[in-house]
């Protein structure tokens, strides 16, 4: 049943005008009762309005959260299909017929037999797989080979010029900057990339910028010394 708040207000005003003549306890009680009733009805009306607004907002949000249908159907990629990929590795063109999901690390090791690049964690956390792409160091386990068509890729095998070691390789040997040697190819490639970047100005910089390459044997002091020595002849160390 709908209640007319306007008429209810008129009744209260009428009783208020009659108070000078009928100041009885009954009229006072009726006035208080009607005021309370109007206040309660006002609260209910506000609550009902707020509830309706919230309900509308909820329905709109739910409608927007539903996945939208589209008439465009995406063609699924067959990761088991093979594609021809041309890579330039250590100055030589290499053509591989591989799956799109093959990482650069696996392409180097399993397809091209360039096993100097090591597989350590396979999660980009140890740096053993570091190679240079266009002179910049990357973790080859975290990138697909197909992404580097046309790029110049340099592995540890490509640093030396014939029998002449790269300055960084020679420095690692001279300063005994390795023990078991498993991480050494990645350490050397990363160090060459560090020199190319030109940001290292101190031993602290070298430690920070080489922190992505882990040496479980703990040869860090000698690694820093080797890199520092090469930095003094930066032009000779650049790839």
Domains in the chain (CATH in brackets) are: 1-40 (no CATH), 160-237 (1.10.150.120)
Residue 10: per-residue pLDDT: 72
Residue 184: per-residue pLDDT: 98
pLDDT at 5 over 80: no
Residue with tokens 């602290």: 204
Q: Which two tokens stand for residue 12?
A: 């209260």
User: Are 164 and 181 contacting, i.e. CB atoms less than 8 angstroms apart?
Assistant: no
| Per-residue pLDDT tens digits for 27-66 | 566 666 666 666 665 555 555 655 565 566 566 666 665 6
Please report which confidence band the pLDDT of residue 235 belongs to, taking 50, 70 and 90 as the band edges: very low
**Cβ within 8 Å of residue 125, ≥6 positions away:** 214
- Angle, nearest 10°, between helix axes 220-231 and 167-174? 140
Of the chain, the percentage scoring pLDDT greater than 70 comes to 65
Q: Which two tokens stand for residue 75?
A: 């063609």
pLDDT at 223 over 90: yes
Signed CA dihedral, 226, 229, 193, 206: sign only: positive
Mean pLDDT for all residues in the chain: 83
β partners of residue 39 = none
Residue 201: per-residue pLDDT: 93
Lowest-confidence range among 53-57, 156-160, 213-217? 53-57
Q: What is the mean pLDDT of residues 173-184?
A: 96
Residue 16: per-residue pLDDT: 66
Of the chain, the percentage scoring pLDDT greater than 90 comes to 63
Lowest-confidence range among 152-161, 165-174, 227-236? 227-236
Please report which confidence band the pLDDT of residue 233 belongs to, taking 50, 70 and 90 as the band edges: confident
Q: How far apart are CA 230 and CA 169, in angstroms?
A: 10
pLDDT at 174 over 70: yes
């Amino acid at each position: 049943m709908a209640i007319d708040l306007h008429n209810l207000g008129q009744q209260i005003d009428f009783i208020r005008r009659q108070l000078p003549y009928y100041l009885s306890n009954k009229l006072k009680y009726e006035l208080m009762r009607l005021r309370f009733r109007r206040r309660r009805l006002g609260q209910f009306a506000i609550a009902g309005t707020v509830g309706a607004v919230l309900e509308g907002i909820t329905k709109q949000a739910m409608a927007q959260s539903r996945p939208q249908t589209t008439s465009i159907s995406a063609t699924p990629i067959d990761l088991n299909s093979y594609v021809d990929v041309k890579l330039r590795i250590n100055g030589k063109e290499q053509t591989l017929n591989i799956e799109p999901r093959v990482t650069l690390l696996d392409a180097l090791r399993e397809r091209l037999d360039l096993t100097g690049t090591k597989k350590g964690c396979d999660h980009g956390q140890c740096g053993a797989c570091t190679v240079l792409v266009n002179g910049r160091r990357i973790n080859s386990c975290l990138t697909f080979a197909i992404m580097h068509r046309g790029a110049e890729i340099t592995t540890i095998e490509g640093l030396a010029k014939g029998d002449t070691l790269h300055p960084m390789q020679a420095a690692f040997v001279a300063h005994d900057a390795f023990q078991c040697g498993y991480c050494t190819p990645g350490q050397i490639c990363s160090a060459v990339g560090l020199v190319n970047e030109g940001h290292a100005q101190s031993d602290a910089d070298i430690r920070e910028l080489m922190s992505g390459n882990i040496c479980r044997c703990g040869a860090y002091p000698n690694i820093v010394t080797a890199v520092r020595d090469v930095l003094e002849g930066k032009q000779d160390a650049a790839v």
